[in-house]
Amino acid sequence: MNDKKKAIDPLPEEFATYEEAAEFWETHDTTDYPEAFRTVEMEGELRRRHYEVEIEPDLVQLLQQYAQTKRSTVSHVVSSIVRQQLNPASPSV
């Protein structure tokens, strides 16, 4: 096994541009610079989930047109239509 340590380039104090930083990190490993990073605690909350459902292209066009007439989003229109079909007592778009 090779016990030689690899040469590590010094981390620049600052990068002049985002591009310069990107170029550096594309060719260097962050684990070689543990002193440059700090652990932070963070909490997050998912506010919405997004689901993918396949539908026919002609339906997409109809939904887009309908949403436009209602001044709404396709997502809101689809949710409303599905909700209406599953629970006919709920209000429409």
Q: Write out pLDDT tens, residues 6-24.
A: 789 999 999 999 999 999 9
| pLDDT score at 18 | 96
**pTM, to two decimals:** 0.45
Which of 2-6, 27-31, 61-65 bottoms out in mean pLDDT, i.e. has the lowest? 2-6
Of residues 12, 48, 41, 42, the one with CA closest to residue 27: 12
- Classify burial at 39, counting beta carbons within 10 Å of its beta carbon; exposed 0-12, middle 13-18, buried 19 or more: exposed
Q: Write out pLDDT tens, residues 40-93.
A: 999 998 888 888 999 999 999 999 999 999 999 999 999 999 999 998 776 666
